[in-house]
Structures are given as structure tokens and as C-alpha cells.
Amino acid sequence: MNYMSININGIGDERKSRWIKGLKKEHDIQFLSIQETKLVNSSSYQVSKFWGPTEFKYDYVNAAGRSGGIMCIWDPKLFCRLSVIKDQNFLVVSGSIADRSELFNMVNVYSPQSLSEKQILWENLVNIRNSSPGVWVFMGDFNEVRSEEERHNSIFIPNNAIAFNNFIFNENLVEYVMGGRWFTYLKENGMKFGKIDTFLVCLDFMNEWPDARLTALDRIESDHCPLILITKGNKFGPYPFRFYNSWMSKDGFMEVVEKALNTSIPVLPPVKRLAQKLKNLKSEIRSWLATLKDKEEATSKQLKPIIKNLEEKA
């Protein structure tokens, strides 16, 4: 499945629902976690604004007054809910994924501010994880950083980071390297930044999808970046052509490059002309490498007896 997590800071604005629905469609998201909905008793109609016309299931934790609120939405064709655990600061949706035998536990986290409340949250999450087997995915707004480098122009509290890191280490959770952005949260008109949103997965998940991609997208309608974790459909196009700097010191290499680049190209749009030139260059270098390899192997065969003779004399 592909996952998305976002602290929406209230979902009452129609622009936010259109934004999230567009990202869901663009990145083929099957499991969506939303924090800080600020809603009580969410309806299917409200949820459909974020998901679109396709079939969905959802569950939620009500907001406390005008703050908080957590929601998970998913594609029932891929994920079948079996049980739910609700708390003011997290929502655990456990179930099965199509064609998989393991139990998958999706944890949507919205962490409180104070250290004492965070420590209670970490303890609760540890107890819940230890009470159930399966694969674990924690996602959301953890409202904490792991190191001083993950904050900018804001106070770093070492004890908070230690408690957060202890939770991660003790539960054998890992993070994917995040692309797109370094910080995920902005406040005070862009003066302060923090990396407080992330995905934490168990080792079984990481081993199953080592090439999954975690990306922080642009902030458009929220002060938090949407995070997407893509585990399927990793199509990166053709394999890149490896180039070694040592080739440039070999005889004949520059002549090969000049020949390829000077080859006449049909009249095409500029981008297609460039692509064709690069294709010709790749082909010419490959042919040159094949010839060079044959020459080097022949030279090696000639030198091996000489080297062996010298070693015997030595």
C-alpha cells in the first residue's frame, strides 16, 4: 500500500479537502492518516471530500473541544479492518492487507505538548505494541525531534529527545530517509521550523519494503508538510547508465564522445534531439568499452606468464 499522513490543522476549509483529495489521487494513496481534524462525530460525507468517489472505510477519534481529532481512511479492497484502539493521542487500526498473511497495525499518532504527557503516550504505545503481533507502522505528528539539527530557531529540549529516541530504540523502530524537505512544520511566519512529523516502521516492514520512499511534500493549505510513504509502483524508468571518471584517461575516449555528439540528428523538438544525442553517446561508449575490454583481456593474458616467471625468480 501507499500511505499519506498530514496534520491538517482543522478540516473545515473546502480548499484543504480538495488539496488532500488531489494528493491522494496523484500519489495513489490507499491509507490516509489525518491529525488535528478538530471534528466531533465525523460523517461519511465529510470523509468523502478527502477521499473522492471511490469506496472507502474510515475511523476516527473525536476532537477535545476545539483541538485534536484523529482520522484514518483506507481502501477496503486492499486493507480489511479487524480491530481498533482509540485514545485522545492515537488511533490504532489493525487488519489484513490483500495477499498478505500478517496482521498489519496502522498507528496514527498526534502527540501532546508536555513531556509528562508524551512519556505516558510512549508507554501506552509500547504496551499496545507488545500486546499484539504483526507488522507495525507509526505515522503522524509526534511533536518531537530526535536531535538538535531537526529544529531551527526553536528551543531544543534534550530530555524530550532522549525519551522519544528511547521509545524508538526500545521498540526496534526505524525511519526511512526522507526526501523532499528536511523540516516538516513551520510556525511564526516561517521563522521557526521542525521535523516533528514522520513515519516509524518495524524491522519486518523495512525488510519487506527496503526501497520504499518517504517524501515530505509542499505545504499548501497547512503549516505541516504532507508525508507520503510509497511502497508499491516504484517505477524509476530505465536503469541509469553508469559512468566512471577513469574512462576519460583511456585512449580514444574523447574521440568516441566527439563522434557521438557530432552524429547528425533528424529535425526534432529540442528535448527529443537532446535525448537522441544522449542515446547515441550511450551506444557509442558501450561499443568502445566492449573493444577496450577485449584489448585489456588480451594484454592480461600476455602479462600473466611474465608476472608468474618474475614471482618464481623472486
For 178-206, what is the mean pLDDT? 89
pLDDT of residue 95 exceeding 80: yes
Query: Among candidates 123, 125, 91, which has minimal Cα distance to 108?
Result: 91
Question: For residue 198, how far is the Cα from the chain centroid?
Answer: 9
Q: pLDDT of 201-217, one tens digit each?
A: 999 999 999 989 999 99
pLDDT of residue 282 exceeding 80: yes
pLDDT of residue 264 exceeding 90: no
The predicted structure's pLDDT at residue 265: 80
CA distance 95 to 88: 21
pLDDT of residue 179 exceeding 80: yes
Q: pLDDT of 69-83, one tens digit each?
A: 999 999 999 999 999
The predicted structure's pLDDT at residue 188: 62
Amino acid in the structure at residue 4: M
The predicted structure's pLDDT at residue 240: 62
CB count within 10 Å of CB 241 equals 11
Mean predicted lDDT score pLDDT of the chain: 89
CA distance 256 to 260: 6
pLDDT of residue 246 exceeding 90: no
The predicted structure's pLDDT at residue 164: 95
pLDDT of residue 278 exceeding 90: no
The predicted structure's pLDDT at residue 134: 94
The predicted structure's pLDDT at residue 249: 87
Query: E strands within 208-276?
Result: 213-216, 227-230
Angle between helices 158-170 and 115-130 (to 10 degrees): 0
Choice between 70 and 300, residue whose per-residue pLDDT is larger:
70
Query: Among candidates 1, 5, 2, which has minimal Cα distance to 216?
Result: 5
Query: Among candidates 116, 118, 166, 138, which has minimal Cα distance to 3?
Result: 138
Q: Tell me, yes or no, if the pTM score tops 0.85.
A: no
For 189-210, what is the mean pLDDT? 90
Q: pLDDT of 47-57, one tens digit each?
A: 899 999 999 99
Superfamily name and number for 2-230: Endonuclease/exonuclease/phosphatase (3.60.10.10)
The residue ranges of every structural domain in the chain are: 2-230, 245-313
For 160-188, what is the mean pLDDT? 91
The predicted structure's pLDDT at residue 228: 97
